[in-house]
Every structure is written in structure tokens, then in C-alpha cells.
A and B are shown apart, each in its own frame.
Chain A
Amino acid sequence: MGDWYRDFANSGLGSTLVRQLGLPRPAVLRRYEPGAPLLPGPAVVGTAGEGRLHGVLTRVLQDAGVPVLPAVDGDGERLAAVLLDATGGTSPADLAAAHAFLAPALRRLGPSGRVLVLGDPPSAAGSPTQAAARQALEGLVRSVAKELRDGATANLLLVPAGAEAAVPGPVRFFLSGRSAYVDGQVVPLTAADVPAGEHEQRPLAGEVAVVTGAARGIGAAIARALSRDGAHVVAVDVPAAGDKLAEVANEIGGTAFQLDITAPDAGQRLVAHLRERHGGVDVVVHNAGITRDKLLVNMDAARWSSVMAVNLQAQLDTTQALLDADGLLGSGARVICVSSQSGIAGNRGQTNYAASKAGVIGMVRAWAPAFAERGATINAVAPGFIVTEMTASMPLGTREIGSRVNSLQQGGLPVDVAETIAWLSQPSAAGVNGQVVRVCGQSFLGA
């Protein structure tokens, strides 16, 4: 399942050849390793506006031991990250400062570098002029993401007034290797209580996490990531996948819970299991999903309804059951629902799948206020082209095209989805609620 083309393009001969032919040159992405520094080199922090978040950003970097440079000009050491605080801009003219700061800095951005821009949410703007200035950042960041090479990414955080405490967690995520395949994304934050003292390497220590569809692929990767970050993982999958499920549970020191999440009593059984064995639950990852592809005109009722039952109805029902169970969902609970790029862009032959995955997005947005009231969050993660056993069986042409049509010119790995979910599970992700984070390398589909 390796990426032969990426490996070829990074080899001695291959690198020369693809350069001369003008072929895509996918990079080997920097991915998270426990204990590794947040960034492999220095970062530069600039402002284009009043600089409300400059202090927060500098502190996050300094706490992580990252050397922080003021604005850069001309040649010099390669930068690992470029951060721009663009909050407080009032008119499009203020964006000239952004251009002036970014242009020289981006020249010096190193491999798998990070560009992170922080702005104000356009929805809260006081005037059309201010809204235009704020919205403009989105076009800027998405285009920068497309211009970057060598595994570098650009993302935008929207920070409303009063949400400063929610900033450090997301900033660390977007700078770290955890966000290797998250590119060109806009993530709005909300004001939230962020507990202090999160353990850097084991942010989920002492927590209980449920992962559905954990026997293989992305689900197994999620279980591994949450376990690595300190959680006890209750790995859930259908009884027929129980042997693989047991292997995953034993590998990570979690427990296997065989459950068909579409069974009428699945919610009750999950609640009873969590109550009896763990007393509660902190993180719930709705990952279980199936595909039953056919063109709509050829699709029978069974294909339609089985996909809806597993991918959408089961997420609705089990989430409701957990909410209804008194005291089961811990304060600060995190629910993360796996959606899909198909749910955003649509996909030929996947009306059922895309409908279910779009439904997940609607569900997450609608539930967010109720979760916020509990001090909890609910979010969706929408993977793009992720290299799994399923994609390995695709025809070569389809697979190659599918994996290249994104700014990072390669497919993501299950661990990339898992890292984003692990981040959204963290206490310090309290300010991200009701959002859809795409893990797609800035896919050209549905962008």
C-alpha cells in the first residue's frame, strides 16, 4: 500500500526525471512522533492588524521550545512555520500588510512547513467592509496552500473576541505533524473553558474512548492514536470482525466490544457496557461506515438502506442514547463523527454514501449548541483520499488520479485521519465545536 510514485519522485533519478518532465512531486510528509519537537526549526510571527493574538502565539511557540523570529527578509535559515495574526483588520487595504509579511517569509519556508493565519470570523463583522476584509483571508490562505510545495500546508483559524483561551490547542495541532494531511482548511473557534495543565504527550490520560469500526483501517488507526495519547479505548465492531477487533484491542491494551451498531438495542447495550465497565465515557468516535456503490438508477433498496443505517442512523441513535444516559457522557466529552469528502463534493455511484455522510455534517452542526451547554463538543472529520485496503483494490488509474488531485499530490494515510480525531478529542480542543475538518490534503473535489 506504499506510495510508489512518491517514493520514486523522491529518489535520485526519479527526482531529476519528474522535475524535467514537470510531473507532480509529492513530498514525504512530516508526521507526528511522540516526544518530537512541535516544529523542526524556527517560526516567524507577524501581524496584519491590531495583533490581538500575537502574545498567545508567541507563548505557544516559546512553551514548545520553538525559536521565534520577528519578521524576516532576504535569505537565511529555513523556517518551519509562518504564523500571521490578521485579527483586527478593518478594511481590505489592511491586507497589504499580510502580503508584505508573507511574501518574504514563504520564500524561506522549509519542507512540511506550516502557514497558519488567524483572523476574525466574517459572520461577526460590523460592516460589509470589515466582512470583506475578513472573508478575503480565506481566499488568501486557500491560494497560499495551493502554491506551497514540499509538503507544506496553510490553514486559517477564525477567532472571535473572547475565544483567546481556545487558541493554543488548535495552533499546536496545525503546527505539529498531526496535521500533515490537513491543508487549506478554515476552522472557526468559539469561546470555551479550556482546562489547564494538559499533558503534552498523553493529553487523554485517564479518559475512556469508544471507537466504532475499530477492527481495521482508519478505525484501527484511530484506536491506536487515542490509546497512544493516554485513553483506554473500547474498540467496537460487528461480531463478525471480532477476531481482528481483538487483535487491535490487545495491541493497544484496550478492550474489544463486539456490537452491531445498527441493532435496535445497540445504544442501550453500549450505554450499559460503558456504565458497568467504565462508569462513563469521555470520547466517542463514530467511525463505522460501509459503502455499497451503484449508480442511483441501478441501486436497490437494500444498498440504500444499509448504508444509511450504518453511516448515519446509527450515529444519530447511539449519540442520542449516550446523551440520554444520565451522567454517562463526561463533562468535556468529545464526540467526533467521521464524514467524508463524498458528503461535501458528492461522488458518482455514491448517492447513498454521500447522502449519509452529508447527513453527518448536518447532525454535527445541529447538535453543537446542546453539546456546548454541557461543556462538550461534537465535530465531524471528512477524510479525502485515504490509502486503505479498500483503495488498494481500486484500479491503478482511478487510484493514481484519486490520490494526486490535491495540493499535497498524494493520498493521506489512516493515521492522518486518526491524528485529527485525536486532536479534536483533546481537552484543549474545547473551542472547536460543530465544525467539519477535512483531512484531504486540500483536495480539488468539493473545495
Chain B
Amino acid sequence: MAPLTRKAAIVGGNRIPFARSNSAYAQASNQDMLTATLDGLVARFGLQGERVGEVVAGAVLKHSRDFNLTREAVLGSRLSAATPAYDVQQACGTGLEAVVLVANKIALGQLKSGIAGGVDTTSDAPLAIHDEMRRVLIALGSARTLRQRLEALAGVRPGMFVPETPRNAEPRTGLSMGDHQAITTKQWGISREEQDELAVRSHQNLAAAYDRGFFDDLVTPYLGLTRDENLRPDTSVEKLAKLAPVFGKDDPDATMTAANSTPLSDGASAVLLASDEWAASRGLPVLAHFVDAQTAAVDYTHGGEGLLMAPAYAVPVLLARNGLTLQDVDYYEIHEAFASTVLATLKAWEDPAFCKERLGLDAPLGAIDRSKLNVNGSSLAAGHPFAATGGRIVASLAKQLHEAGPGTRGLISICAAGGQGVVAILES
């Protein structure tokens, strides 16, 4: 019997550079990108023909044919065809949730190794036929007589030929994610300048990380891209100040622009996790260990909470369970869905009323040292292929913690559609 629990090791990761929507990866499918990403990981760690315990990944925007996306990607990759796989989906939390699932099975001794990942394309997106057309076609398929067939076809109307495109909007409110965040931005009084500064820092940090070779063993080029397409190393607060707002435009003081919001993007990421023994037996490094994770959800439809504020609730629970304060963290990775999401979350943790009334805490979590936040850039600069963001962050943070030395601690916070959040702690 294996020990009851052990901490899963993060061995390393791989991702392809993230592309802007309808650009370098316009012709690539989710399966193409995930397969290429797995193959890059295989090459980095010499896993050719290896039967990894499990591969867990997912996509947010998915074709119906991709019901077994991850397993199909495994079969197309250089991993052993006898490697089991399954799909998960938790909106933008997909990638991190996949890591949690693999890490937990390793912790329980059910797996010795596993790969967690995610992929998304907003270019090769699924188009669905009009819902009423779908009903007509189903009726046609079940018709037995000519008369029944004609009756079914008689139901066709010109408008039914318009396909349904996936929308970046909440089904229950009809509001786009950006318009939801605009409400939160205003509530917390996040200024345009603060948002633009955060965006510029994200670009600068990501560019600096590339320049010092930080991503040399984290990224493999794909279809001509060698760096994230959205990265603008020479951007500045002055340049960003010229952009017009794109979300919450009903408000004359709208602050959210295309630069302080993440662009639609395409890409994939994967993380190799294992037991320490598995890694050691192959001469593979242990960058960090996966310590713990927590999810939370908020009722943004009637509960008066912002759509992307769930991580603000999940983090204190996670910290408390591990006997930590917010300041016991050496590196913070707060996913930049929007610059104002990061800023509102940080403000909430500093706010005594929010921490008391919403989180039930006696004292606020307090401020963090901003120089420890998203030190190698985040989604504003890199882009955010929804399900690929978790893997990007886990692998980069694990490497950062490894470079900083043993005992360094990192916190990951990722907000997701549907008012959800996934957060986790890593430690080197």
C-alpha cells in the first residue's frame, strides 16, 4: 500500500506560443495544437513511447466531434497509445483544474505520472446550426413516410440557415464577460491608469522573461510563431492611454480597453507531473510540488457579486487550511482576465468590509508586495486561450520557484466564466 498522500512533483511543462485569434493558428484545430504541445513535452523529457499514467486536458470551445479530444491528441502524439486520457472543462479554470486532478491522483498513489493541459481556439471555433433547424433535421431523420418528411421540411424558414456562433457571454445574463467585469471595475473604483500600468508591466515582464531565456524550456515554437503574438515589448502607458474603451461603454467613464483586457487567442499548454520517485528514476527534475488547491463560486446572477470575483473567496480558504497568510507567499500568479480583475481582487483582500462581510474574516488579508505579482508576465501580454492558461501559469511558476530556491511558495488564482474560481499553492 502506498503512503496515504504525497505531494505531486511538477517536472516541467510545454506550451506553444499563444496566437491572436484568426492569425497564425487560424487553420489549426484544438486537436492539432494539443498534439503538438504534447509532442513538445515528449521531446523535452524523452517520453517517446512512454505510457504516462493519465493525460487530462480540455477545451472551453469544443466541436462536438472532439468529445474525446485529449485521448485523440494522445493517440496522435509520440506517447504510448496505451496512455489513458480524459477531458475536463471548467471554463478558464480548465487547465488548473486538470493539474489539480492529476496532482490529487498522484498524491493518492493512484498515478505515478500524469500530464495536465488545456487548449483553446477562438479561430477554429465550432459553429452550430440554428436550434430550430436542428429540430427540423431531427424530425426529418425520424420521419418514416414521404408525407412526414415533407411536413418536417415545411418547417424550414430562411432565418434557420444562420449558424450559431459561440459567444463570450454569460447565458444567464446575456452580458459579455467584459461588460460583467466593467460592473466590478466601477464598483471597486479601479482607475484607467491603474489598469494600463498593470497591462504595461505584464508586457514588460513577459518580454524580459523571453529575453533572459526563461521560456527556453517552457515553450516550443509552432506554425512560425516563436513568441506570444500578442506581446508588445515596447508598449507604454502613454500608448495605451490613447485607446477607446470597449467594455461597459454605456458609462461615459468606461475604463476597460482592448489593451487592459485579454485578447481572444489560440494556444495550448501541458504540464508533466509525477511522484518524486518517478522523476528521480528518469533523471528528471522536480521544479516544485503541488501543495493544495481550492475552488469557489459566486452568485453573480442574484447575489450581487462580480462574475470574476470567486478567487477572492477561494484564496482565504486555501490559505487558512495551510496555515498561511497572504503575505507568506513569495510569488503571486493572478490570471489577468482583465487588468481590473487582478486589481479588484487585490482591493477586495485589502478591504475590511469585504473581508468581514463577504469572507467572514476578522481582519482583511491585506496588501501584497506588487513586485512579486506576475513576475514573468501574464495573460494581458501572453494572451489567454481559455483552457491553456492554467498550464502556462503552473509550469512558469514552478520554474520561477525552482530558480528562487527550495522552500519558495507560489499562489495561483484563476477566475472563470460562470462565476467560478480555481486557486492553488505550489512550493519548491
In the complex, B76 has a CB within 8 A of chain A: no
Q: Which of A272-280, A325-333, A396-404 contacts B (4 or more CB under 8 A)?
A: A272-280
Please report the C-alpha to C-alpha distance between residue A263 and residue B285 in the assembled complex, in whole angstroms.
22
Mask for B213-224, Cβ within 8 A of A = 1, else 0?
A: 101110111100
In the complex, B354 has a CB within 8 A of chain A: no
CB-based nearest A residue for B16: A243
Please report the C-alpha to C-alpha distance between residue A278 and residue B219 in the assembled complex, in whole angstroms.
22
A250 touches B42 (CB 8 A): yes
Please report the C-alpha to C-alpha distance between residue A29 and residue B116 in the assembled complex, in whole angstroms.
49
Q: Which of A232, A246, A265, A276 contacts B43 (CB 8 A)?
A: A246
B46 touches A239 (CB 8 A): no
Known: A239-B215, A260-B213, A263-B213. A277 touches B283 (CB 8 A): yes
Q: Which of A165-173, A251-259, A316-324, A337-345 contacts B (4 or more CB under 8 A)?
A: A251-259
Could you tell me how many residues of chain B have their Cβ less than 8 Å away from some Cβ of chain A? 23
In the complex, A421 has a CB within 8 A of chain B: no
**Of residues B42, B78, B216, B284, which shows the largest number of chain A Cβ atoms within 10 Å of its Cβ?**
B216
- Interface of B, secondary structure class, is loop
B220 touches A246 (CB 8 A): yes
CB-based nearest B residue for A233: B46
Tell me which residues across on chain B come within 8 A of A246, comparing CB atoms. Answer: 39-40, 42-44, 220
In the complex, B49 has a CB within 8 A of chain A: yes
Known: A239-B226, A250-B48, A253-B49. A245 touches B284 (CB 8 A): no
Please report the C-alpha to C-alpha distance between residue A242 and residue B217 in the assembled complex, in whole angstroms.
10
Tell me which residues across on chain B come within 8 A of A45, comparing CB atoms. Answer: none
In the complex, B45 has a CB within 8 A of chain A: yes
A242 touches B39 (CB 8 A): no
Tell me which residues across on chain B come within 8 A of A269, comparing CB atoms. Answer: 213
In the complex, A301 has a CB within 8 A of chain B: no
Please report the C-alpha to C-alpha distance between residue A222 and residue B226 in the assembled complex, in whole angstroms.
25
B219 touches A242 (CB 8 A): yes
In the complex, A163 has a CB within 8 A of chain B: no
Q: Which of B39, B43, B216, B219 contacts A259 (CB 8 A)?
A: B216
A253 touches B46 (CB 8 A): yes
Q: Which of A253, A256, A260, A279 contacts B44 (CB 8 A)?
A: A256
Q: Which of B78, B215, B216 contacts A250 (CB 8 A)?
A: B78
Tell me which residues across on chain A come within 8 A of B40, comparing CB atoms. Answer: 242-243, 246, 256
A245 touches B43 (CB 8 A): yes
**Of residues B45, B213, B226, B283, which shows the largest number of chain A Cβ atoms within 10 Å of its Cβ?**
B213
Known: A263-B213, A276-B283, A278-B283. A239 touches B221 (CB 8 A): yes
Tell me which residues across on chain B come within 8 A of A191, comparing CB atoms. Answer: none
In the complex, A249 has a CB within 8 A of chain B: yes
Mask for B20-61, Cβ within 8 A of A = 1, else 0?
A: 000000000000000010011011111011000000000000
In the complex, A240 has a CB within 8 A of chain B: yes
Known: A243-B220, A263-B213. A255 touches B46 (CB 8 A): yes
In the complex, A71 has a CB within 8 A of chain B: no
CB-based nearest B residue for A276: B285
In the complex, A241 has a CB within 8 A of chain B: yes
Tell me which residues across on chain A come within 8 A of B43, comparing CB atoms. Answer: 245-247, 249-250, 255-256
Tell me which residues across on chain A come within 8 A of B221, comparing CB atoms. Answer: 239-243
Please report the C-alpha to C-alpha distance between residue A398 and residue B216 in the assembled complex, in whole angstroms.
38
CB-based nearest A residue for B41: A246
B48 touches A258 (CB 8 A): no
Q: Which of B44, B78, B215, B219 contacts A255 (CB 8 A)?
A: B44
**Of residues B43, B49, B217, which shows the largest number of chain A Cβ atoms within 10 Å of its Cβ?**
B43
Tell me which residues across on chain B come within 8 A of A245, comparing CB atoms. Answer: 43
A258 touches B217 (CB 8 A): yes
Mask for B122-143, Cβ within 8 A of A = 1, else 0?
A: 0000000000000000000000
Known: A276-B283, A277-B284. A239 touches B42 (CB 8 A): no
Mask for B83-107, Cβ within 8 A of A = 1, else 0?
A: 0000000000000000000000000
CB-based nearest B residue for A234: B46
Please report the C-alpha to C-alpha distance between residue A361 and residue B222 in the assembled complex, in whole angstroms.
37
Tell me which residues across on chain A come within 8 A of B36, comparing CB atoms. Answer: 243
CB-based nearest A residue for B45: A255
User: A242 → chain B, closest Cβ, in Å?
Assistant: 4
Tell me which residues across on chain A come within 8 A of B46, comparing CB atoms. Answer: 232, 249, 253-255
User: B347 → chain A, closest Cβ, in Å?
Assistant: 38
User: B422 → chain A, closest Cβ, in Å?
Assistant: 29
Please report the C-alpha to C-alpha distance between residue A249 and residue B41 in the assembled complex, in whole angstroms.
11
Tell me which residues across on chain B come within 8 A of A247, comparing CB atoms. Answer: 39, 43
Within 8 A of A (CB), among B210-267: 213, 215-217, 219-222, 226
CB-based nearest B residue for A248: B43
Within 8 A of B (CB), among A304-319: none
B219 touches A250 (CB 8 A): no
User: A261 → chain B, closest Cβ, in Å?
Assistant: 12
Q: Which of A250, A256, A279 contacts B283 (CB 8 A)?
A: A279
**Of residues B36, B40, B42, B283, which shows the largest number of chain A Cβ atoms within 10 Å of its Cβ?**
B40
Tell me which residues across on chain B come within 8 A of A249, comparing CB atoms. Answer: 43, 46
Please report the C-alpha to C-alpha distance between residue A251 and residue B48 in the assembled complex, in whole angstroms.
9
User: B54 → chain A, closest Cβ, in Å?
Assistant: 21
CB-based nearest A residue for B282: A277
Q: What are 15 A-B contacts defined by CB distance under 8 Å?
A: A239-B219, A241-B221, A243-B36, A243-B220, A243-B222, A246-B39, A249-B46, A250-B39, A254-B46, A255-B43, A255-B45, A256-B44, A257-B44, A258-B217, A260-B216
Q: Please give 16 more A-B residue pairs, beta carbons under 8 A apart, in addition to A246-B40, A277-B284.
A: A239-B219, A239-B226, A240-B226, A242-B220, A242-B226, A249-B43, A249-B46, A250-B39, A253-B46, A256-B40, A256-B43, A257-B217, A260-B216, A263-B213, A276-B283, A279-B283
Q: Which residues of A contact B (CB under 8 A)?
A: 232, 239-243, 245-247, 249-250, 253-260, 263, 265, 269, 276-279
| Closest 3 A/B residue pairs (Cβ) | A246-B43, A256-B43, A249-B43
